[in-house]
Structure 1
Amino acid sequence: MSRNGLQIIVGAFIYAIAINDFLIPHQIGEGGVTGLTTIGYYALHISPAYTNFVLNGLLMLVGFRFLEKQTVWYSAWAVLWISIFLKLPPLLHYHTDQTIIPAIFGGVLMGIAMGIIFRGEGTIAGSTILARIVNRYFGMQNGSAMLLFDLMVAIPSVLIIGLQNMLLTIVELAVSAVVLNNFLSRFGAKKAVTIISDQTTEMTAELSRILNQGITLINAEGYYHQEKRPMIYVICTDKQVAEIVPVISSIDPKAFVVIDNVRSVKGTAISKLL
């Protein structure tokens, strides 16, 4: 089994825990197809495993039209395992009258689970397929697009679960969207270090030795003094930044250094930055 396949199974397991142990025991809804499965359970006592499998299977047909085939197959794999794990009994048997707690922690687990599945090249189908389509063609973040579609199901659920639980559902959806966006934003996270120094040659040689990677020199000219000198530009990890900052200070204590957060991948994976 591929690494992506195993990753999706882990995400599916966490997703099922969020539903079985936090949302359903406290009558908190969800958005998209998952929201429909919980409503079906609350109103008609239909197992979420069945409605999740059937409704998401139909949405897969939409995915085949707009998404890469590999993403659709991995999504089918995710839906299969989510349905299997939803058939399991609750593992934590957690219940509290402070319903804001399961709303928040359910949202955190949902966001983490979807992030893991997304990183495994899949989706949980439902609104995530629609979110992936919006992300691909309009650049909206996955978590934000999902929240938009999920609210279309969550708000009408007030007729089944009541106003308080509907509001808790919105809290859970907002938390999961924030967690998902932050989880995915860590993909390709790096630091961009720009250095302006009088000791460019020595600085570049030492940084190249420490980092053992390419370093870019950019020809620059200061407007005020009309002085030309190269800027050193390098992409590195947080750990590497901690290693090179003392070196920069030791070579040129007067060096001007700018460190920015960036995200970078090779061209074949550039779509993952969206």
Structure 2
Amino acid sequence: MNQLYKAVKFSRKWFVVALGSFLVAIGLELFLIPNQIIDGGVVGLSIIFSEITPLSLSIYLILINLPFLYLGYREIGKTFAISTMVAVALLAIFVRFFHHIEAATDNAFLATVFGGIVIGIGVGLIIRNGGSLDGTEILAIIGNEKLGFSVGEIVMFFNIFILGSAGFVFGWDRAMYSLIAYFIAFKVIDIVVEGLDESKSVMIISDKPDEIAEAILFRLGRGVTHIYGKGAYTQESKELLYCIVTRIEVAKLKSIVLEHDPNAFVAIEHVHDVLGGRFKKKSIH
């Protein structure tokens, strides 16, 4: 049974990676590239080079990513490098397949919006399964450790240069469309990776922890964990409450807390993912 589970999990991972590469190829060849709009990162660089040289986009996707794949293997790990290599290879194949198919639209605005959405979904699926399509992200992860700049800052630097270069090749209006497409894809990636059902972690410090915990349990159906600590200034023992709720439950939770203790301290943070435990809502009768 355990072997069957591993086989299903393994098959599902590579199917989703293949689906992600397939969607990115559709976004590029049926929306962006026919309208001279590019994506960011290595894909955008490959599109520019394929436009100004005789070599095809598929070849550049492999060639430019090779050094980044080596860096990823050496600095990040074997699993990540293999997932990225497979995703890039599949993208190169799918791009070649879709290259001669007629564009979905010749309207630049529609191509920008829908191309960005489809690419964002595809890249998000690949990232969720431990891979990447963008060699600049690998460089950014390494640069973050060695240069002190954040991953986001390094990726943004590369993409400003790449998207700016599109202005000299395709025209400045297309460069602006490219920037919009990149932004849309970036936001959609976040949604796919983190999910629409965003969760929030809540830390509550109150003099009435038991009453608040009971109200959260029975009125929201969410579990609560008691954490025991001590105030650094007063040296008094404090009982903290910790729970996870969805974003639509935050307002209700705050009203419950203030109803029982108007002086309570509440800290709310975004949670990227929730695994295991008993996060599923309980039915309280």
Q: Paired residue for 2:154, among 116, 141, 145?
A: 145
Displacement of 1:58 in angstroms is: 3.6
Q: Name the counterpart of 2:123.
A: 114
Cα distance, 1:62–1:229 mapped onto 2, change above 3 Å: closer
2:217–2:223 Cα contact (<8 Å) kept? yes
SS in 2 for 1:87: helix
Q: Name the counterpart of 1:215.
A: 226
SS in 2 for 1:156: helix
- Write the distance in 1 (CA, Å) between the matches of 2:90 and 2:136: 17
Displacement of 1:66 in angstroms is: 2.2
> Mapping of 1:129-140 within 5 angstroms?
129-135=138-144, 138=148, 140=150
Paired residues, number: 261
Q: Name the counterpart of 2:282.
A: none
SS in 2 for 1:28: coil
Q: Paired residue for 2:240, among 232, 239, 254?
A: 232
State TM-score, norm by structure 2.
Answer: 0.71
Of 254-263 and 105-114, the range deviating more from structure 2: 254-263
2:87–2:131 Cα contact (<8 Å) kept? yes
Q: Name the counterpart of 1:95.
A: 105
Q: Paired residue for 1:31, among 32, 40, 43?
A: 40
Q: Name the counterpart of 1:193.
A: 202
Displacement of 1:238 in angstroms is: 0.9
Deviation readout 1:37-67 (Å, 9 max, x if unpaired): 3224433454322321233234312222322
Displacement of 1:23 in angstroms is: 0.8
- Write the distance in 2 (CA, Å) between the matches of 1:240 and 1:32: 35
State TM-score, norm by structure 1.
Answer: 0.74
Q: Name the counterpart of 2:279.
A: none
Q: Paired residue for 1:174, among 175, 179, 183?
A: 183
Deviation readout 1:207-234 (Å, 9 max, x if unpaired): 578545633244459x9xx896744321
Displacement of 1:250 in angstroms is: 11
- Unpaired runs of at least 5, structure 2: 1-9, 275-285
- Unpaired runs of at least 5, structure 1: 267-274
Q: Identity across aligned pairs (percent)?
A: 21
Letter in 2 for 1:95: T
Cα distance, 1:205–1:181 mapped onto 2, change above 3 Å: closer
Displacement of 1:18 in angstroms is: 1.2
2:224–2:243 Cα contact (<8 Å) kept? no
Cα distance, 1:113–1:148 mapped onto 2, change above 3 Å: farther
2:43–2:134 Cα contact (<8 Å) kept? no
Measured on the aligned residues, the alpha-carbon RMSD in Å equals 3.9
Letter in 1 for 2:142: I
